[in-house]
A and B are shown apart, each in its own frame.
Chain A
Amino acid sequence: EAGVTQFPSHSVIEKGQTVTLRCDPISGHDNLYWYRRVMGKEIKFLLHFVKESKQDESGMPNNRFLAERTGGTYSTLKVQPAELEDSGVYFCASSQRGQGSYEQYFGPGTRLTVT
Protein backbone atom coordinates (compact mmCIF):
# COMPACT_ATOMS: atom_id res chain seq x y z
CA GLU A 1 0.00 0.00 0.00
CA ALA A 2 1.33 3.44 -0.93
CA GLY A 3 2.27 5.74 1.90
CA VAL A 4 1.70 9.46 2.21
CA THR A 5 3.17 11.26 -0.77
CA GLN A 6 4.08 14.90 -1.12
CA PHE A 7 4.95 17.06 -4.08
CA PRO A 8 7.31 18.70 -4.79
CA SER A 9 10.13 17.29 -2.72
CA HIS A 10 11.99 20.58 -2.96
CA SER A 11 10.99 24.09 -3.93
CA VAL A 12 13.11 27.20 -4.16
CA ILE A 13 11.24 30.45 -4.69
CA GLU A 14 11.85 34.13 -4.26
CA LYS A 15 10.28 36.25 -1.58
CA GLY A 16 6.89 37.46 -2.73
CA GLN A 17 6.21 34.50 -5.00
CA THR A 18 3.52 31.89 -4.52
CA VAL A 19 4.07 28.21 -3.88
CA THR A 20 1.56 25.37 -3.64
CA LEU A 21 2.44 22.15 -1.86
CA ARG A 22 0.46 18.98 -2.38
CA CYS A 23 -0.18 16.01 -0.12
CA ASP A 24 -1.80 12.70 -1.03
CA PRO A 25 -2.74 10.79 2.13
CA ILE A 26 -2.94 7.05 2.48
CA SER A 27 -6.06 5.82 0.74
CA GLY A 28 -9.02 5.69 3.11
CA HIS A 29 -7.50 7.98 5.72
CA ASP A 30 -9.99 10.68 6.62
CA ASN A 31 -7.61 12.61 8.84
CA LEU A 32 -4.97 14.74 7.17
CA TYR A 33 -2.49 16.98 8.98
CA TRP A 34 0.05 19.58 7.98
CA TYR A 35 3.16 20.22 10.07
CA ARG A 36 6.20 22.40 9.54
CA ARG A 37 9.78 22.31 10.76
CA VAL A 38 11.67 25.56 10.58
CA MET A 39 15.45 25.17 10.82
CA GLY A 40 16.61 24.84 14.38
CA LYS A 41 13.10 24.47 15.76
CA GLU A 42 10.79 21.60 16.54
CA ILE A 43 8.15 20.23 14.18
CA LYS A 44 4.99 22.28 14.68
CA PHE A 45 1.37 21.53 13.91
CA LEU A 46 -0.33 23.70 11.30
CA LEU A 47 -3.78 22.25 10.74
CA HIS A 48 -5.97 19.18 10.68
CA PHE A 49 -8.61 18.11 8.15
CA VAL A 50 -11.28 15.53 8.72
CA LYS A 51 -12.30 14.65 5.20
CA GLU A 52 -12.79 18.04 3.53
CA SER A 53 -13.49 19.99 6.73
CA LYS A 54 -10.93 21.93 8.74
CA GLN A 55 -11.07 20.44 12.22
CA ASP A 56 -8.32 22.56 13.74
CA GLU A 57 -6.32 25.31 12.07
CA SER A 58 -4.92 26.85 15.23
CA GLY A 59 -1.33 26.34 14.08
CA MET A 60 -1.58 28.29 10.83
CA PRO A 61 0.90 31.16 11.21
CA ASN A 62 -1.01 33.86 9.30
CA ASN A 63 -3.38 34.50 6.43
CA ARG A 64 -0.65 34.03 3.84
CA PHE A 65 -1.20 30.31 4.28
CA LEU A 66 -4.25 28.65 2.74
CA ALA A 67 -4.98 24.95 3.00
CA GLU A 68 -7.65 23.10 1.08
CA ARG A 69 -8.84 19.55 0.78
CA THR A 70 -11.55 19.56 -1.82
CA GLY A 71 -13.37 16.25 -2.06
CA GLY A 72 -11.66 14.95 1.04
CA THR A 73 -8.80 13.32 -0.83
CA TYR A 74 -5.56 15.18 -1.50
CA SER A 75 -4.74 18.48 0.14
CA THR A 76 -2.89 21.59 -0.98
CA LEU A 77 -1.12 24.20 1.10
CA LYS A 78 -0.56 27.51 -0.63
CA VAL A 79 1.78 30.19 0.62
CA GLN A 80 1.12 33.58 -0.93
CA PRO A 81 3.17 35.74 -0.85
CA ALA A 82 6.08 33.75 0.54
CA GLU A 83 8.39 35.35 3.10
CA LEU A 84 11.91 34.35 4.13
CA GLU A 85 10.70 32.94 7.45
CA ASP A 86 8.47 30.46 5.61
CA SER A 87 11.51 28.40 4.70
CA GLY A 88 11.47 24.96 6.23
CA VAL A 89 10.26 21.42 5.73
CA TYR A 90 6.51 20.96 5.40
CA PHE A 91 5.27 17.53 6.42
CA CYS A 92 1.89 16.05 5.74
CA ALA A 93 0.52 13.16 7.78
CA SER A 94 -2.61 11.06 7.66
CA SER A 95 -4.43 8.71 9.98
CA GLN A 96 -7.46 6.45 9.92
CA ARG A 97 -11.02 7.70 10.06
CA GLY A 98 -12.62 8.46 13.38
CA GLN A 99 -11.22 9.91 16.53
CA GLY A 100 -8.77 8.05 18.68
CA SER A 101 -5.16 7.21 19.10
CA TYR A 102 -4.53 6.20 15.52
CA GLU A 103 -0.97 6.42 14.31
CA GLN A 104 -0.20 9.38 12.09
CA TYR A 105 1.86 8.37 9.06
CA PHE A 106 4.10 11.09 7.74
CA GLY A 107 5.02 11.89 4.18
CA PRO A 108 8.63 12.59 3.15
CA GLY A 109 8.10 16.35 3.35
CA THR A 110 8.55 19.28 1.02
CA ARG A 111 11.68 21.32 1.63
CA LEU A 112 10.81 24.95 0.90
CA THR A 113 13.50 27.57 0.52
CA VAL A 114 12.49 31.21 0.15
CA THR A 115 15.30 33.47 -1.03
Chain B
Amino acid sequence: RKEVEQDPGPFNVPEGATVAFNCTYSNSASQSFFWYRQDCRKEPKLLMSVYSSGNEDGRFTAQLNRASQYISLLIRDSKLSDSATYLCVVKRGYSTLTFGKGTMLLVSP
Protein backbone atom coordinates (compact mmCIF):
# COMPACT_ATOMS: atom_id res chain seq x y z
CA ARG B 1 0.00 0.00 0.00
CA LYS B 2 1.30 3.45 -0.91
CA GLU B 3 2.07 5.70 2.03
CA VAL B 4 0.09 8.56 0.48
CA GLU B 5 -2.79 7.81 -1.89
CA GLN B 6 -4.51 10.27 -4.20
CA ASP B 7 -6.97 10.00 -7.07
CA PRO B 8 -4.81 10.86 -10.10
CA GLY B 9 -7.69 12.49 -11.98
CA PRO B 10 -7.75 14.43 -14.20
CA PHE B 11 -10.52 16.53 -12.79
CA ASN B 12 -12.01 18.60 -15.60
CA VAL B 13 -14.04 21.53 -14.29
CA PRO B 14 -15.35 24.79 -15.77
CA GLU B 15 -14.22 28.15 -14.50
CA GLY B 16 -16.05 29.12 -11.35
CA ALA B 17 -16.68 25.56 -10.22
CA THR B 18 -15.87 24.17 -6.81
CA VAL B 19 -13.64 21.10 -6.77
CA ALA B 20 -12.45 18.88 -3.93
CA PHE B 21 -9.46 16.59 -3.74
CA ASN B 22 -8.93 13.87 -1.19
CA CYS B 23 -5.89 12.08 0.07
CA THR B 24 -5.27 9.28 2.57
CA TYR B 25 -2.05 8.44 4.35
CA SER B 26 -1.09 5.15 5.94
CA ASN B 27 1.46 6.07 8.59
CA SER B 28 -0.23 7.25 11.77
CA ALA B 29 3.13 8.66 12.94
CA SER B 30 2.93 11.38 10.28
CA GLN B 31 3.15 14.75 11.93
CA SER B 32 2.82 17.47 9.34
CA PHE B 33 0.64 17.72 6.28
CA PHE B 34 0.75 19.88 3.19
CA TRP B 35 -0.67 20.49 -0.23
CA TYR B 36 1.86 21.34 -2.91
CA ARG B 37 1.10 22.54 -6.39
CA GLN B 38 3.15 21.48 -9.40
CA ASP B 39 2.79 23.03 -12.82
CA CYS B 40 3.77 21.01 -15.87
CA ARG B 41 7.54 20.45 -15.98
CA LYS B 42 8.08 22.73 -13.00
CA GLU B 43 9.08 22.20 -9.40
CA PRO B 44 6.59 21.57 -6.59
CA LYS B 45 5.62 24.68 -4.64
CA LEU B 46 3.96 24.78 -1.25
CA LEU B 47 0.31 25.74 -1.55
CA MET B 48 -0.65 25.42 2.09
CA SER B 49 -0.08 23.52 5.28
CA VAL B 50 -2.97 21.49 6.67
CA TYR B 51 -4.11 21.60 10.28
CA SER B 52 -6.63 19.53 12.23
CA SER B 53 -8.70 22.61 12.87
CA GLY B 54 -8.95 23.25 9.16
CA ASN B 55 -7.45 26.25 7.46
CA GLU B 56 -8.40 28.57 4.67
CA ASP B 57 -6.36 30.72 2.32
CA GLY B 58 -8.55 32.71 0.00
CA ARG B 59 -10.36 30.28 -2.28
CA PHE B 60 -8.52 27.29 -0.84
CA THR B 61 -9.60 25.30 2.21
CA ALA B 62 -7.65 22.38 3.63
CA GLN B 63 -8.82 19.90 6.22
CA LEU B 64 -7.14 17.10 8.17
CA ASN B 65 -8.87 14.19 9.87
CA ARG B 66 -6.24 12.38 11.94
CA ALA B 67 -8.62 9.64 13.08
CA SER B 68 -9.40 8.68 9.48
CA GLN B 69 -5.91 9.62 8.21
CA TYR B 70 -7.57 11.71 5.55
CA ILE B 71 -6.65 15.09 4.06
CA SER B 72 -8.75 17.24 1.76
CA LEU B 73 -8.38 20.35 -0.36
CA LEU B 74 -11.32 22.41 -1.56
CA ILE B 75 -10.94 25.00 -4.30
CA ARG B 76 -13.79 27.44 -4.77
CA ASP B 77 -14.46 29.63 -7.79
CA SER B 78 -11.86 27.81 -9.92
CA LYS B 79 -9.67 29.93 -12.18
CA LEU B 80 -7.89 28.89 -15.36
CA SER B 81 -4.63 29.48 -13.50
CA ASP B 82 -5.55 26.78 -10.97
CA SER B 83 -4.85 24.14 -13.62
CA ALA B 84 -1.97 22.11 -12.21
CA THR B 85 -1.19 18.90 -10.36
CA TYR B 86 -1.93 19.02 -6.64
CA LEU B 87 0.37 16.92 -4.47
CA CYS B 88 -0.63 15.64 -1.06
CA VAL B 89 2.45 15.55 1.16
CA VAL B 90 3.06 14.24 4.67
CA LYS B 91 6.09 14.59 6.89
CA ARG B 92 7.38 12.36 9.65
CA GLY B 93 9.91 13.78 12.02
CA TYR B 94 11.86 16.84 10.99
CA SER B 95 12.70 16.39 7.41
CA THR B 96 11.48 13.70 5.06
CA LEU B 97 8.57 14.61 2.84
CA THR B 98 6.46 11.78 1.47
CA PHE B 99 4.51 12.64 -1.66
CA GLY B 100 1.40 11.28 -3.26
CA LYS B 101 1.41 10.90 -7.04
CA GLY B 102 -0.73 13.97 -7.40
CA THR B 103 -4.16 14.88 -8.70
CA MET B 104 -4.36 16.73 -12.00
CA LEU B 105 -6.83 19.60 -12.28
CA LEU B 106 -7.84 21.10 -15.61
CA VAL B 107 -9.97 24.23 -15.47
CA SER B 108 -11.60 25.14 -18.77
CA PRO B 109 -13.18 28.43 -19.93
Q: How far, in whole Å, are A59 and B44 apart by their CA atoms in the complex?
A: 19
Answer whether residue A99 sits at the interface, using C-beta atoms and an 8 A cutoff.
Answer: yes
Query: Quick one: which of B2, B42, B45 contacts A42, CB cutoff 8 A?
Result: B2
Q: How far, in whole Å, are A107 and B91 apart by their CA atoms in the complex?
A: 19
Stretch touching chain A among B52-60, B61-69, B98-106: B98-106
Q: Which of B58-109 contact A (CB under 8 A)?
A: 87, 91, 94-102
Q: How far, in whole Å, are A109 and B45 apart by their CA atoms in the complex?
A: 12
> In the bound complex, do residue A42 and residue B91 qualify as a contact, i.e. CB atoms below 8 Å apart?
no
> In the bound complex, do residue A41 and residue B101 qualify as a contact, i.e. CB atoms below 8 Å apart?
yes
Of the four ranges (under 10, 10 to 19, 20 to 34, 35 or more), the interface on chain A belongs to: 20 to 34
Answer whether residue A62 sits at the interface, using C-beta atoms and an 8 A cutoff.
Answer: no
> In the bound complex, do residue B44 and residue A43 qualify as a contact, i.e. CB atoms below 8 Å apart?
yes
* With known contacts A42-B2, A42-B4, A42-B102, A104–B42 Cβ distance under 8 A: no
> In the bound complex, do residue B97 and residue A104 qualify as a contact, i.e. CB atoms below 8 Å apart?
yes
Of the four ranges (under 10, 10 to 19, 20 to 34, 35 or more), the interface on chain B belongs to: 20 to 34
> In the bound complex, do residue B44 and residue A91 qualify as a contact, i.e. CB atoms below 8 Å apart?
yes
Q: Which of B2, B4, B32, B95 has the most CB of A within 10 A?
A: B95
> In the bound complex, do residue B95 and residue A108 qualify as a contact, i.e. CB atoms below 8 Å apart?
no
Q: Which residues of A contact B46 (CB under 8 A)?
A: 103-104
A67 to chain B, nearest CB (A): 14
* With known contacts A91-B44, A103-B46, A108-B43, A42–B99 Cβ distance under 8 A: yes
Q: Which residues of B contact A44 (CB under 8 A)?
A: 99
A113 to chain B, nearest CB (A): 14
Q: Which of A26-58 contact B (CB under 8 A)?
A: 31, 33, 35, 41-45, 48, 55-56, 58
Q: How far, in whole Å, are A55 and B95 apart by their CA atoms in the complex?
A: 9
